[in-house]
Structure 1
Amino acid sequence: MKKLLTLTLGMCVATLMFAQLTVPPSGGNQKSTVTQWIGPVSVSITYNSPDVHGPNGEDRKGHIWGELVHYGFIDQGYGTSKSAPWRAGSNENTTITFSHDVKIGGKDLKAGTYGVFLDVEKEGPWTWIFSHNSTSWGSYFYNPKEDALRVQTTPVDAAYTEWLTYGFDDRQLTSATAYLQWENKRVPFKVEVPNVNDIYVNTMRGELEGTMLGFSNGPWMTAAQFCAQNKVNLDEALRWADNAISGSFIGVEDFSSLQTKALVLQAMGKDAESDLIMDKAIKQPTATVQAVHQYGKALLASGKTQKAMEVFKMNAQKHPEDKFTPYVGLARGYTALGDKKNAIKNWELAIKNLPENQKPNIAFYEGELKKLKG
């Protein structure tokens, strides 16, 4: 028992000796993380950030690239690597994490966490290296066999930056350009999510099948509308739209749910079926004067002038209490038909009954009338 106690105490002492305390970062190289979302996809870079002036305040301007940061692959005198790139930061390994599969510089890279290294060259392109080994210390144990991807890049001149900084710019719906910026250089690489709509759909599908959305048809309409707008996953979107109309516990047949189904049918190229659904939708008690008006405008925009005119006339008959919106619709319809007389008449009626919330737009309406009279 005494031997066991002695052994246990020895192990505790050894553990305490090697335990790490929380202390300031070595060399003042602060740890940072920057995250950018590309749609539903997150990209996070974690790094340690040195400054140009160094831990003791020494001015290292003009001595960063090719000196403090070595060119090419070298033996750093420690670790197993005899041909190591720069660790693309300081202290620990720089890492990057992708929540989903992406493309870097046009090349595929799977979701996950990678070590990030940079081959810095005196002349010619530099190379970003993404390694499956994200846990080693810096690049002292770099092994090219663990490379997941290499992508060439061209450094560009940049505004002076004291602290090594990672960031993102040129942020688009399906891509963003990540960069390292330090001293007078910026080193970029482009991150793309070419299948972003598929990711959205997969996420929505999981959420719709979950239990957190309650007994509402709103999420089903939102998902179906997204698919219609982007013309993706249309067969399933039609089922989602039908569920919003007649699904157990959640289905509600009203203007919004019927319009959603019509949008999906239109995206599928089934215009005749879409028109039939919309004919039903605009006759619903829930079809507001503004909703019907917007549908008529959409018909005008798609070149269906006669159909739009029918909708505008129906809106005026159904909502005699509204002395403005139906007249605007009729004015637009008659203008599209080339019937100036009736177009002028309805613009004048609309302007005469201009509601308070439309007064800021009076110049536009009077301009439309003036064009017809001119």
Structure 2
Amino acid sequence: VTQRIGISDIIIVYSRPSVNDREIWGKLVPYGMNNLGFGTAKESPWRAGANENTTIKFTDDVTIEGKPLKAGKYGLHMVINPDNSATIIFSKNHQAWGSYFYDPVDDALRVDVSMKDISHTEQLTYIFNEVEANSAVASLNWEKKQVPFKIGVDVSKVVLADIRHKLENAPGFQRQTWEQAANFSMNNGGDLEEALGWINSTIEGMFFSEKNFGNLNTKAQILNKLNRSAEADAVMDEAMGMATVFERHGYGRQLIGQGKKDKALEIFKMNAKKHKGEWPVDYGLARAYSAMGNYSAAIKHLKIAATRAPDAPNKNAIAANMAKLEKGEDIN
């Protein structure tokens, strides 16, 4: 079973024994550490499955219940206790049969967890639940018990490392790779100076460099995050001179999202002047006036926008926004 978190994969390989009306916990799976009567181990945990060693592989560094564990493949073992607690063991030895040759010297990590009661699961099953942007819970389900453990991934760190690798290889010959790198770093807690260097490379200095609205806008956003607002404003002034009607519209919406309502209205008015009668300039003005609480002006421009909407989805969106404005609700 496999789960991806960001660009990191977690792979669990295991066998699936059945309950078959047997008593599992404390009997078939004995509590604590035990001498299994075979192999070199004097005390062995449960193999957390059947037959060969259950294994778990991480393509990148992770945390298990908050504790760090390096990327790699591990033997997965468990110590089950009668008080509904369990210890998860990640062993560097992932090639031995079962846990007959378990040696604590090979432990890479041990974590303690609490078991949960669940509905009957006939065949032992590993699942991933509670999957989030930076974590997932891996759970062993069998009979009426679940053994869960939380796996965390520093997705931004992993992706940024992957980005740096790509920039040094074939994808780095494309301007878009550098633009994507700068945008990801800017929006995901990366090094802003590094991101600024990446976006500057797309603007000038490289064989693929090409100054355009998109990379100038990204540069301005990075500069703003670096508290270099005067430089950011100068960059955006340059970007406005080469913006399309849709790029200027998008920038206006970006400003509304940042709470810069007056500046947004200025941009939407500029768009309407440069692209008189075109879609979606009046939609932009409607959004700007709505953000400022001037719903009557917003309705006026939204009615004009409705006559210029190019397709059914936009017409439907305008109708929905008109209903909001008529109720005195902001459409942003």
Aligned to 2:39: 79
Aligned to 1:47: 14
Deviations along 1:150-199, whole A, 9 cap, x unmatched? 11111112232222111211111111111111122111111111x32111
1:154 equivalenced with 2:108 (yes/no): no
Q: 1:339 to 1:94 in 2, by over 3 A?
A: closer
Aligned to 1:275: 233
1:105 equivalenced with 2:65 (yes/no): yes
Aligned to 2:289: 334
Superposition deviation, residue 146 in structure 1? 2.2
Aligned to 1:141: 101
1:296 equivalenced with 2:255 (yes/no): no
Q: 1:135 to 1:342 in 2, by over 3 A?
A: closer
SS of residue in 2 equivalent to 1:345: helix
Give the Cα separation in 1 of the matches to 2:280 and 2:93: 64
Q: 1:231 to 1:270 in 2, by over 3 A?
A: farther
1:192 equivalenced with 2:147 (yes/no): no
Give the Cα separation in 2 of the matches to 1:316 and 1:368: 23
Letter matched to residue 189 of structure 1? F
Deviations along 1:10-46, whole A, 9 cap, x unmatched? xxxxxxxxxxxxxxxxxxxxxxxx1211112221111
Give the Cα separation in 2 of the matches to 1:302 and 1:113: 45
Structure 1: 5+ residue runs without aligned partners? 1-33, 54-58
Aligned to 1:69: 29
Q: Residue 245 of structure 1 is aligned with which of 198, 203, 213?
A: 203
1:92 equivalenced with 2:48 (yes/no): no
Give the Cα separation in 1 of the matches to 2:296 and 2:318: 20
Contact 2:245/2:275, CA 8 A, preserved across alignment = yes
Letter matched to residue 285 of structure 2? L
Give the Cα separation in 1 of the matches to 2:141 and 2:259: 51
Alignment of 1:1-374 (within 5 A): 34-53=1-20, 59-60=21-22, 63-193=23-153, 195-214=154-173, 216-284=174-242, 287-322=243-278, 324-337=279-292, 339=294, 342-357=297-312, 358-371=314-327
Q: 1:201 to 1:78 in 2, by over 3 A?
A: same
Determine what percentage of the aligned residue pairs are the same residue: 45
SS of residue in 2 equivalent to 1:119: strand
Contact 2:172/2:178, CA 8 A, preserved across alignment = no
Give the Cα separation in 2 of the matches to 1:366 and 1:340: 10
Contact 2:63/2:152, CA 8 A, preserved across alignment = yes
Letter matched to residue 64 of structure 2? I
Letter matched to residue 326 of structure 2? K
Q: Which moved more, 1:44-53 or 1:267-276?
A: 267-276
Letter matched to residue 277 of structure 1? V
TM-score for both structures, normalised by structure 2: 0.92
Give the Cα separation in 1 of the matches to 2:249 and 2:325: 19
Contact 1:86/1:117, CA 8 A, preserved across alignment = yes
Q: 1:238 to 1:86 in 2, by over 3 A?
A: same
SS of residue in 2 equivalent to 1:181: strand
Figure out how many residues of one structure are paired with residues of the other and give that number: 328
Give the Cα separation in 2 of the matches to 1:339 and 1:91: 71
Give the Cα separation in 2 of the matches to 1:77 and 1:321: 86
Superposition deviation, residue 118 in structure 1? 0.8
Aligned to 1:56: none
Letter matched to residue 332 of structure 1? R
Structure 2: 5+ residue runs without aligned partners? none
Letter matched to residue 349 of structure 1? I
Contact 1:117/1:130, CA 8 A, preserved across alignment = yes
Give the Cα separation in 2 of the matches to 1:343 and 1:123: 64
Superposition deviation, residue 247 in structure 1? 3.3
Deviations along 1:267-293, whole A, 9 cap, x unmatched? 323333222212211210xx2212211
Give the Cα separation in 2 of the matches to 1:341 and 1:180: 59
Give the Cα separation in 2 of the matches to 1:279 and 1:234: 21
Give the Cα separation in 2 of the matches to 1:350 and 1:174: 41
Q: Please tell me the root mean square deviation across aligned C-alpha atoms, in Å.
A: 2.1
Give the Cα separation in 2 of the matches to 1:342 and 1:46: 62
Deviations along 1:199-236, whole A, 9 cap, x unmatched? 1111011101102454x311111110111112312111
Contact 2:47/2:98, CA 8 A, preserved across alignment = yes
Contact 2:280/2:309, CA 8 A, preserved across alignment = no
Larger radius of gyration: 1
Q: Which moved more, 1:301-310 or 1:363-372?
A: 363-372
Higher relative contact order (CA 8 A, sep 6+): 2
